[in-house]
Amino acid sequence: MLKNNTIHLWTRGLLLVVVSVLTCVKGQAEPLKVAFVSYANPQQVAKDSDALAQFLETKLGMPVKGFVTLDYGSSIEAMRGDQADIAFVGPLAFMRAHEQIGAMPLLLEVYSSGTPTYRSCIWVRKDSGFKELSDLKGKIIAFADQVDMSGHLLPRDLFRQEGFLSGNWVEKEFFDEVYFAGGDEQAIHGMLNGFVDAAGVSEYASLLLRPEERDAVKVLAYTRPSPSHLIMARKGVPFETKDRLKKVLLALDPSNPEDKSILDKLYGVQGFAEARLSDFEGVAKVAAGFGLVKNPDLFASGQFSE
């Protein structure tokens, strides 16, 4: 009888252990899925994303899975399919994601200027003889990408403000030719090497040139400012998770060597600032003028992130 009771208790204990293990596995927290976009070498970005995922796991106290997308559209689609909870994107991609799937802004990147904004420029060679925008009439210009805020919409809007371009795309309007080079680096190199007369891209595009090459180019005009690149969250990500993530990244101090190493992996930014929907009010109107944002009122003054 004693032997049977011992076996019964042992068996019951074993079952309790198995049930406990299965419950832990079943109840294991889903990882926070973070999409990093590849601005440059995908292998290096993938390596950095692994280190960042480990850093965030430690700070957030939850599993984090990082992966790399080649463009903003892929990040939006990953978020649409619940394959990404957090994504690093540009302002236009965010606005489209907010309209389409309810994505919310978390943090804006802070650059060397110390502000979470940037401008685009019209770049030309110093020896071109161009002194003002009107000198580019009948010339050839390169933009980065047709669906790009800094590499197309802001520079194009500058010419529209000056009355040189209309709101609609008209063949041979003002410029003799317009090229979409595929990125800031390709556009500014095309200008530097004489394939085009000007490049309309980010003010930071010159950092993609060698020092001696930077000495050969100049800014003809600056655009209006835009919110910087940002971190957005999928609709449905718990508030507590978003709040913890914001606190971790806002606490990074570029004067601290350990924090600086993390910021260097986060595209070399100087830090982050809180983002609001209303930060995008001005650029939403610009994008709406080109048909790329359908409801700019979503970003009107008074609109805040959740």
- What is residue 122's predicted lDDT score, i.e. its pLDDT? 98
pLDDT in tens, 73-130: 889 999 999 999 999 998 999 999 999 999 999 999 999 889 999 999 999 999 999 9
Its CATH architecture, for the domain 120-224, is: 3-Layer(aba) Sandwich (3.40)
The enclosing H or E element of 88 equals: strand 86-89
User: Do the Cβ atoms of 161 and 154 come closer than 8 Å?
Assistant: no
The confidence score (pLDDT) of residue 40 equals 60
Residues counted in the chain: 306
* The two domains 32-116+227-299 and 120-224 share their CATH topology (first three levels equal): yes
CATH 3.40.190.10 fits domain 32-116+227-299 = yes
| Cβ proximity of 259 and 192 under 8 Å | no
Q: What is the pLDDT of residue 3?
A: 42
| Residues of the chain where predicted confidence (pLDDT) is lower than 50 | 1-27
Residue 171's pLDDT is 80
Q: Quote the pLDDT of residue 39.
A: 67
**Closest residue by Cα to residue 94 from 208, 229, 200:** 229
Half-sphere exposure of 80 (CA within 13 A, CB side): 14
The per-residue DSSP string of 259-301 comes to: HHHHHHHTTT-SEEEE--GGGGHHHHHHHHHTTS-S-GGGG-T
Parse the chain into domains and list their residue ranges.
Answer: 32-116+227-299, 120-224
